[in-house]
Structures are given as structure tokens and as C-alpha cells.
Amino acid sequence: MKLKFLLPLVLLAAAISQGCVSNKKYAELQTNYNRSLDTNSKLKQSWQTTQQELAVSRNQVENLQQQIDLAKANAAGLQDALNKCLAGSNQGNVNIAKLADQITASDKYIQHLVNLKNKSDSLNQILTTNLTRSLTSDEMRDVNVKVLKGVVYISLSDNMLYKSGSYQISDKAGATLSKIAKIINDYATYDVLIEGNTDNVPIAQTNIRNNWDLSALRASSVVQALQNTYNVDPKRLTAGGRGEYNPVADNSTDLGKSQNRRTEIIITPKLDQFMTLIGKPAPTSGQ
């Protein structure tokens, strides 16, 4: 990456050392330099996004590991108590049997947590692979996909979807939206929430009052494209705008602002499906 950044400067220095360069040559060098800056910025953005996803995954695994460690510690305590009962001559068989049952239940719970952790890791990996395998490397720069407990989160940059400062879907968004629509249709029983998000720069258009309006209009545009162009059942779709109030990065930098200008597509299982995914029985109507 550093070589790509320095190459235009080296070429420029070489050209200057040989004398004046033509306007055409200078423009070509400037174009290469600008392209290198753009590539560097995109690589930084991709790296930051990857770090965020990694942090979320690590936190999920750490939480489950803490539960496993706690359960193991409890099992060790129960085993110690049982050993003391067995060593004491005046302890009744009833207490011993009770401790043995508690140890068995604790072991089953530990195994349940381990299985749940493995299932969560595998499910997230499989879903993420299925979602991203049809996207090109260029699309992946503007599309962020993650899966948490069976809920699919797809984040699209405004550059991918809209014309600058507008809520109109751009022509280049069609290829990506068609793939996302296929994903949505594959999960036919899941609900789909489309959320628009902006940076904190006020919108300057007479027909749009503020960033609330812009984010909601952008979400609505995606919903209508999914319905009218890609045949997604509108009963499954919800459009919402969060304006500038759900940032994922610092708005004090251009890179942070670009990350905050995004549309998120959240594909969510219904309650009974969600309970199955996290390993719990669905509540009955009386609860």
C-alpha cells in the first residue's frame, strides 16, 4: 500500500529532474496520485470495518466463555462437596444423592453452553459466507455483512445506493440490490427492517427539511425498489429513518462521516424462530 502511495511521487520527482513536463504528463501524474489517495482511504475504511466486526465477534465469544467458566467452577464446588460427604462417615445417602444430581445437572448445563457457543459460531459463519459469496470485491468495499444470533445485518454505504445528496436510487445500485433481494427472498419467513442513517452535516435542499427526512426517504426508496423491482413481499418490509443519531464512527473526520452515511438492512427471524436460534423455547401465549 505504501508503494502505491509513493509511486506517483517518485514518478513526479523523476519527471521534474529531467526538466519541465507537459501539461498532459502532469495531469496524468496528478490523476495517478489522486487514485492512490482514494485507494488508501478505501483500504483504511475496510480495515476499520473489519476491526469492528472482529470486536463484536470476540465480545460474543468472551461472554459465552465466561458463562462456561462460571458453570465449570460451580461444578467443581459441587464435586468438592460430594467428596467431603463421601469422606464423612455420618453423612446420609440422601445428601450424597442430591449433590450427585446437582453435579449431573451442572454438567448438562455446561455441555448446553458449549453446544450453543459452537452452534452460534457455525451459524454465523455459514450465514455470512452465504451472504457474501455472490458479492464482488468492489461491492464488498461498500457492503458490510454480519450475523449475530441468526439476525442478518447488511450495511450499505450511500455511495453504493444513492446519487449524491439525494434519496434517489442510483443506476449502479441495481446489481447489489438484486443480490440482497435474493437473500431476503431466501429467508422468506423473516421480517426486514430498512434503516436510513446520515452524518451530522445538515441537508441543504428546499424539499428536504432535515436529516430525519433524508434518512427516512432513503429507507423508503430502498423498500420500494425491493418491492417494485425485485418482488419482495411488502408485508415483510418496514422503512425507518434514524437521521444522524445512530453513528458508528466519529463525525469529525471525512472517513467517519462516510461510514455514518449508510443504509442498514436488518433481516430478523420471528420470535419463535429467534428462540430456536439461541437455544431457548418460545414463550406460550399465556406468558
Give the pLDDT of residue 240.
Answer: 95
pLDDT in tens, 97-130: 676 777 777 777 676 666 655 555 555 555 566 5
Rounded CA separation 101/177 (Å): 55
Span of 7-16, 91-100, 265-274 with lowest mean pLDDT:
7-16
The pTM score is 0.53
Query: Residue 165 — left, alpha, or beta (φ > 0 → left; ψ -120 to 50 → alpha)?
Result: left
User: Which of 198-212, 233-247, 273-287 is predicted most confidently?
Assistant: 233-247
Cell digits of residue 9:
511521487
- Which residues face 266 on adjacent strands? 153, 193
**Does residue 273 carry a pLDDT above 60?**
no
pLDDT in tens, 145-204: 777 666 778 888 888 888 777 899 988 888 888 888 887 887 788 889 999 999 999 988
Rounded CA separation 127/114 (Å): 20
Other CB atoms within a 10 A radius of the CB of residue 160 amount to 19
Cell digits of residue 122:
457455525
Rounded CA separation 161/152 (Å): 19
